[in-house]
């Protein structure tokens, strides 16, 4: 688990200010959702936490550590995207295993020819596959480990993408609209699964969506973003019952 601190984050793209002085303290183990209309800066903020984008000013803390300048793979967070970005030619098992293979195998051991010959590689891969199986069991993917992504449903693919994040045992999961490619019925189902997964893992979840229903049903707290700022931060009930501005009320759909 990791608390995540954002301190006065500013970001512009080509003279357009996208994030305006964003300060936010995300608690250890909470499910925090960044919600807001398209273009308000949610993905940019998440990418800055992940280290995929660099802020112009301000600082990011993960756990006890200032991570400005720390590489994405060293931050202890894992990102789950809406486009699952699975490798089409690899099985489900290998798709989930990939981050561990990158960590633990040498470049030579990852080459097709040499990997057949190396006993060290075989030993490491056995360990990795045991971890993959544990993750697959947690996500109910056990029977699908030998399939290719094209042989899976959208929901199953999304679970594989989650598995690939989980296998690294990150302290925090960063999810950018992970359900938006699913049909409506499956989306509702997966909301429940994600909330459940959050309870079981006890990890910090930072979840991005433009869908206020999703935000209101899944989150411990919601940060509503408008035009690069956090307009209001609170529990779903607080935002619904006591919207601080008209803009919050109209986005959340509170009664006037």
39 binds, among ligand ADP, Mg ion, none (CB under 5 to 8 A by kind): ligand ADP
x-or-dash string of contact with Mg ion, 15-44, rule CB under 5 A:
----------------------------x-
Give CA separation, 238 vs 80, 233, 234, in Å: 28, 9, 6
CB 210 within 8 A of CB 36: yes
Q: Which of 38, 69, 119, 256: binder of ligand ADP (CB under 6 A)? A: 38
User: If binding is defined by CB under 5 A, does position 219 make contact with Mg ion?
Assistant: no
Among 22, 24, 33, 44, binds ligand ADP (CB under 6 A): 44
SS3 240: helix
Least distance CB 79 / Mg ion (angstroms): 12
**214 CB-near residues (< 8 Å, 6+ apart):** 33, 35, 179, 187, 191
Are residues 54 and 48 in contact, defined by beta-carbon separation less than 8 angstroms?
A: yes
Gap between the Cα atoms of 190 and 134, Å rounded: 20
Phi, psi of 13 (to 5 degrees): -115, 115
For residues 148 and 137, is the Cβ–Cβ distance under 8 A?
no
Q: Among 39, 146, 192, 253, which residue interacts with ligand ADP (rule: CB under 6 A)?
A: 39
Question: Which is nearer to ligand ADP, 41 or 236 (by Cβ)?
Answer: 41
Binding status of residue 18 toward ligand ADP by CB under 6 A? yes
Please identify, using beta-carbon distances, which residue of 9 and 161 lies nearer to ligand ADP.
9
Nearest to Mg ion of 198, 210 (CB atom)? 210
Under the binding rule (CB under 6 A), the answer on residue 43 touching ligand ADP is: yes
Distance CA 243, CA 256 (A): 10
What Cα–Cα distance (Å) separates residue 232 from each residue in 4, 156, 226? Answer: 18, 34, 9
Kindly state the smallest distance separating residue 6's Cβ from ligand ADP, in Å: 14
Contact pick of 2, 26, 40, 197 for ligand ADP (by CB under 6 A) = 40
Q: Which residues bind Mg ion (CB under 5 A)?
A: 43
Contact residues toward ligand ADP (CB under 6 A) are 13, 18, 36, 38-44
């Amino acid at each position: 688990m990791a608390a995540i601190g954002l301190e006065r984050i500013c970001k512009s793209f080509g003279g357009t200010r996208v994030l305006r002085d964003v300060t936010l303290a995300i608690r250890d183990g909470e499910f925090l959702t960044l919600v807001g209309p398209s273009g308000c800066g949610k993905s940019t903020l998440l990418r800055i936490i992940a280290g995929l984008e660099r802020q112009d000013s301000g600082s990011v803390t993960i756990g006890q550590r200032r991570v400005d300048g720390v590489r994405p793979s060293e931050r202890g967070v894992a990102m789950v995207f809406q486009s699952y970005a699975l490798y089409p030619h690899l099985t489900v098992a290998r798709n989930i295993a990939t981050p561990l293979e990158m960590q633990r195998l040498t470049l030579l051991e990852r080459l097709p020819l040499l990997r057949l010959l190396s006993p060290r590689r075989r030993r490491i891969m056995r360990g990795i596959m045991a971890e993959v199986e544990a993750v697959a069991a947690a996500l109910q993917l056990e029977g699908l480990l030998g399939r290719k992504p094209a042989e899976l449903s959208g929901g199953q693919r999304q679970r594989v993408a989650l598995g690939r994040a989980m296998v690294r045992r990150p302290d925090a999961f960063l999810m950018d609209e992970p359900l938006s490619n699913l049909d409506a019925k499956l989306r509702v189902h997966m909301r429940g699964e994600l909330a459940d997964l959050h309870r079981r893992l006890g990890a910090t979840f930072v979840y991005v969506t433009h869908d206020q229903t999703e935000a209101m049903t899944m989150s411990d707290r919601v940060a509503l973003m408008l035009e690069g700022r956090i307009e209001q931060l609170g529990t779903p009930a607080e935002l619904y019952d006591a919207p601080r501005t008209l803009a919050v009320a109209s986005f959340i759909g509170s009664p006037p």
